[in-house]
Each structure stands twice: as C-alpha cells, then as structure tokens.
C-alpha cells in the first residue's frame, strides 16, 4: 500500500489506523459475523465504525473486534 493514511468512517478525518487493525474478511472469520451483517450494522447503528484505507476498504481496530466477539457470544 503506497499511502498508509486512513480515515475514520464516522468523521472522515485523516488519521492512522490503530496497530493490529484487520480487514472485514478477517473479522468475519474471527467473529463468525458475516460481512453483510457488519455492513448493515455499520449503516443502521453506526457500530462498528471501521477505519478506511486509501482504497476505501474497512479496517477494524482490535478493540472493535473484541467487542464484536462479545456481541456474537451474547447473540448465540
């Protein structure tokens, strides 16, 4: 990736993504929550609020992934 700058989905401000951030496919594998569900929750509820890389792809901070694991466990 030539440009490591990313922006937060909620405010569009330039900032660096937190260390250890992962893409949506990794979050799906790790949590068991489908990519489509993650996108719908983002639109409907504003959570999770992933960062975006220069190509616009979602990057989830480790804290968000941990919270998503908890939510999945509570829903099951």
CATH of the domain at 32: 1.10.1660.10
What's the pTM value of the predicted model, to 2 decimals? 0.77
| 3-class DSSP assignment, residue 23 | strand
Does residue 33 belong to any structural domain of this protein?
Answer: yes
Q: Is 19 left (phi over 0), alpha (psi -120 to 50) or beta?
A: beta
Q: Burial of 19 by CB count in 10 Å (0-12 exposed, 13-18 middle, 19+ buried)?
A: exposed
* The pLDDT of residue 18: 86
Does residue 15 belong to any structural domain of this protein?
Answer: no
Give pLDDT tens digits for 4-56.
344 444 445 456 788 899 999 999 999 999 999 999 999 999 999 999 999 99
Does residue 4 belong to any structural domain of this protein?
Answer: no
Domain count, the chain: 1
Does residue 43 belong to any structural domain of this protein?
Answer: yes
Domain that holds residue 60: 20-75
Give pLDDT tens digits for 47-61.
999 999 999 999 999
């Amino acid at each position: 990736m030539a440009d490591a700058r990313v922006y937060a989905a909620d405010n569009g401000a330039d900032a660096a993504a937190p260390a250890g951030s992962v893409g949506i496919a990794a979050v799906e594998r790790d949590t068991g929550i489908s990519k489509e569900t993650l996108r719908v929750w983002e639109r409907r509820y504003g959570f999770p609020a992933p960062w975006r890389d220069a190509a616009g792809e979602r990057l989830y901070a480790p804290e968000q992934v941990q919270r998503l694991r908890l939510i999945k466990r509570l829903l099951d």
